[in-house]
Every structure is written in C-alpha cells, then in structure tokens.
Amino acid sequence: MEKLIIIGGGSAGLAGAIYASRALLNPILFEGIPGGQLGLTSDVENYPGFENPILGPILMQQFRNQALRFGTRIVSQKIKEVKTSSVIKVMTETDEEYETEALLIATGAEPKWLGLQSEQRLRGHGVSACATCDGFFFKDKDVVVVGGGDSAMEEALYLTKFAKNVIVVHRRDTFRASKIMQERVLNHPQIKVLWNTTVKEVIGEDRVEAVKVIANGQEQTVSTQGLFLAIGHIPATTFLADSGVQLDEKGYIYTKERVMYENIEQIKSGYTLPYRFSTNIKGVFAAGDCVDYTYRQAATASGMAVSAVLEVEKYLQEA
C-alpha cells in the first residue's frame, strides 16, 4: 500500500512530487510523456526564476532531477485504469496494479492540432497553441490564429499587444464565441478575419513563413511568421472513465474548488471533504491542466499541485 501515487510527469506532477517527497510521503510518480507539454516546447521565458530563456525539456529535466533528489520514485509508464470502489488502485499499461491511500491526478491536457505534418514539424518554431506562452516572441510580426470560439478571440486580442497584424482563420461564416468577444475582435483595427477558410499547409523550412489556406473554395497563401491554434484542448483523463471520478462534458476533472466556484448545485453534495483540490472520491485529488481549462500555464499548474499535496498531507494525517 503506497501513501501517495501521482499520475503525470509534467510541471504539476513533478512539483507535487517535490513537495510530497520532502514531506516524507515517499510518492511514486507515473510519467506518461516525460515533462508533459513543456517537454515538447522550445524556449520558455515566463517561468519565474530564470533570467534567460530556458528550453522546455531542460526545465522539466531540472524539475525531474529535483524530485528524484528528494526520493521520488519515477516510473515511465502510463496508467490505463483507476479503480476506487473499496481501495484506490491504479493499473499500468503493463497490467501491474498498485494500491494507495491517496492519489493525485496531474495528467494535463493536449492541445487539439490540425493534423498536418508541416504543423507538427514546425511546433515551437512558429507554430504554437498558447499565445500567453509565446506571444512575446512575435513583436511587430504577422500572425495567424485558427479558431472561432472564445479561446480564439482571447488569443487574437492578446496577440495584438505584440504582433503587427493578426489574421483569424475560421472554417465557418460566423464565430461560436460570445457576442462581446466577437465584437472586440471584429472591431479591432489590427485584426482581420478570413471566413470559410481552413489551413491546408504550413510553409517554411526552419521557421513559419506562410500558411496555405483554402478560402471559399480557393487556395491562397497568407504570409505569416506565426500560427496559433485555438481549437480546443483534450484533457488526458480517458483512463478515468470507470473510476467514479466526476468529469465535465469535455473530460476535465471537477475538484471541490471548481464545483464551488462554478456553483454547480447538482453535484455539490458529492464533495464532502474540506479540501479545495479533492475530487468526489475520498483520497483522490487533482491539479493542473486536467482541471484548469482557463489558464493552462506551467506556473499555475505547479502551484495547484503544490496546494493539492499540502492537502494530501493533511488528509493522510487525519485519515
């Protein structure tokens, strides 16, 4: 019987592991994608404590080394199932089963991509799914944002702080975004909208130079130095399907803090423990981008996980 199992090898999982190890909880951490999304990112300039840019994989390796130094046991396997009927159990992809007194889920979320080979090749070299993370690198440049929801509107408006021109590419002739966000975008002098348009290819060898689009049935090339995808995220929570852990319609985990903040009356009664990051299942906690669909930053994910582990420590003491 483990005291604490952590699922997730990104900034949330590793930050939680550092605190859990120092609290002598002897955690075991299962990492699916080492480093999570930051492990696939190039320059990181906005993580506190680093005066100069640091590569995402190097930053995550430092997180990992610190967790290991305090005694975290890291297993490079994915978890395929969680059971919570009598005792909390996790099963790995190789069918090994572990029992634990507490579980922290910190599996993050994956941005939706267009599925283009050129897009994947240029990720981190002009292709991004996070304006807050990468907008600073596009000062006085032209950028393209793909999407039509509130997230796309927010990304486009945020990018106007840095970029010279922002082109929003949307596959339909109307936005799905809220009325006020639409108005802000449509009335902004730096933003142009291409309706009924889809991206066919990203052009560039080492950096994004343009995108090839199909606009109203006609192919054309749009010059740009940046391509931002804002077509949604997919939380990495499919393994929780039969766990009993409450998820929203998109697969994000409900914690007590979320339920109370969003005032979801119909499920409030299921969150009885006095912990902000507890789920509806006793002993199961969650933090990071698998919970947070709003901010999605390494720093916020790390902070959530640290808070969750402090709650886990108290929970174990009181159990």
Closest CA to 211 of 126, 134, 132: 126
Strands 226-229 and 142-146, by their bridges, are parallel
Catalytic residue selected from 43, 95, 134, 290: 134
Euclidean distance between CA atoms 319 and 317, whole angstroms: 6
Euclidean distance between CA atoms 21 and 3, whole angstroms: 11
Concatenated DSSP letters of the chain: -EEEEEE--SHHHHHHHHHHHHTT---EEE-SSTTGGGGG--EE--STT-SS-EEHHHHHHHHHHHHHHTT-EEE---EEEEE-SSSEEEEETT--EEEEEEEEE---EEE-----HHHHHTBTTTEES-HHHHGGGGTT-EEEEE--SHHHHHHHHHHTTT-SEEEEE-SSSS--S-HHHHHHHHT-TTEEEE-SEEEEEEE-SSS--EEEEEETTEEEEEE-SEEEE-S-EEES-GGGTTT---B-TTSPBPPHHHHHHTT-HHHHTT--SS-TTB-SSTTEEE-STTT-SS---HHHHHHHHHHHHHHHHHHHHH-
134: annotated active-site residue: yes
Catalytic residue selected from 43, 130, 150, 248: 130
133: annotated active-site residue: yes
Catalytic residue selected from 133, 289, 290, 292: 133
291 touches 255 (CB < 8 A): yes
Q: Which residues are catalytic?
A: 130, 133-134
